[in-house]
Amino acid sequence: MSNDRNVTTQVGVFKALINRARLIWHLMRDPRVPVYLKVLPIATALYVVSPVDLLPDVAPLLGQLDDLGVLLVGIESFIALCPAHVVEEHRAQIEGREFYSTADASRSDETIDGEWRVK
């Protein structure tokens, strides 16, 4: 029973990581996200793969922890700085649920005909 829970937890964590990567990919391709924000994940990835580190990789585990910290802060900052309605729309799409935004309703192309009279 305990082993089943561990496997379920690991699958849930893996699925959350995949969904987070998909969310970043969708946000990077969305024209509603400002270009200057799209620099953040790219700069974060460049730091992780670059040989320059805050803590040298010579120290066991500590060298990798700074890379992990920068990666987490960069990703979470990017998502937090993106427009909230765009992030929620992409999250809903990735999770397979419907998304409704009042911003979408105000930009509707539908016209309601009516009359107005003054007596």
pLDDT tens per residue across span 22-35: 999 999 999 999 99
Classify residue 113: in a domain, yes or no.
no
Average pLDDT, the chain: 82
89 shares a domain with 72: no
Structure tokens at 4: 């089943």
29 shares a domain with 39: no
Range of the domain at 91: 1-33+83-97
Interval 10-26: pLDDT, tens: 777 788 888 899 999 99
Burial class, 53, CB count within 10 angstroms (exposed 0-12 / middle 13-18 / buried 19+): middle
- pLDDT score of 35: 94
